[in-house]
Amino acid sequence: MASVQMSGVLKTEILENYEKQVRSAYETKTGVADVVNQIRTGMEDTVPLLKDFRELKSSAEFLLDEFKKQTMQLVGANNISMKDFWRSSMFSDGYGSKPNLVGLSETKKLYCVINLNRDISENFSYIFDWHAMYEKSDYYVEHNKIVTQPATANFVDGDLYFEYEFATPLLLPLQLNGRKRHYQAKSDYAPYVDIGLVISDPEMYNVLKQVSETDIKVAEAVQTMKDCLEQFTTLKKFLDEFSGGMALVPEEYKQRLAKKTPPRKKSIKVKPETIIPDDIKDQMAEVVFENSLLK
Same domain, 157 and 192: yes
Contact 201, 207 (CB under 8 A): no
Same domain, 164 and 120: yes
Contact 205, 116 (CB under 8 A): yes
- The verdict on pTM exceeding 0.75 is no
| Residue where a domain stops, chosen among 73, 104, 135 | 104
Same domain, 178 and 132: yes
Same domain, 82 and 139: no
Say how many domains are in the chain: 2
pLDDT in tens, 237-257: 888 887 778 888 888 888 887
Residue 65: give the domain boundaries.
Answer: 52-104
Same domain, 74 and 94: yes
Kind plus residue range of the DSSP H or E element containing 32 = helix 32-46
- Contacts (Cβ under 8 Å, ≥6 apart) of 229: 6, 11, 14, 15, 238
Write the DSSP symbol of residue 237.
H
| Residue where a domain stops, chosen among 38, 69, 104 | 104
pLDDT in tens, 29-71: 777 778 878 887 888 888 889 889 989 988 988 998 899 889 9
Residue 60 lies in a domain: yes
Contact 213, 150 (CB under 8 A): no
Residue 225 lies in a domain: no
Write the DSSP symbol of residue 167.
E
Residue 63 lies in a domain: yes
Residue 158 lies in a domain: yes
Same domain, 112 and 195: yes
Contact 147, 99 (CB under 8 A): no
| Residue where a domain stops, chosen among 63, 86, 104 | 104
Of 116 and 147, the one with more pLDDT: 116
| Average pLDDT taken over every residue of the chain | 80
Q: What is the DSSP pairing of strand 160-170 with strand 177-179?
A: unpaired
Kind plus residue range of the DSSP H or E element containing 177 = strand 177-179
pLDDT of residue 210: 77
Residue 195: band (very low, low, confident or very high) from pLDDT cuts 50, 70, 90 = very high
Same domain, 137 and 165: yes
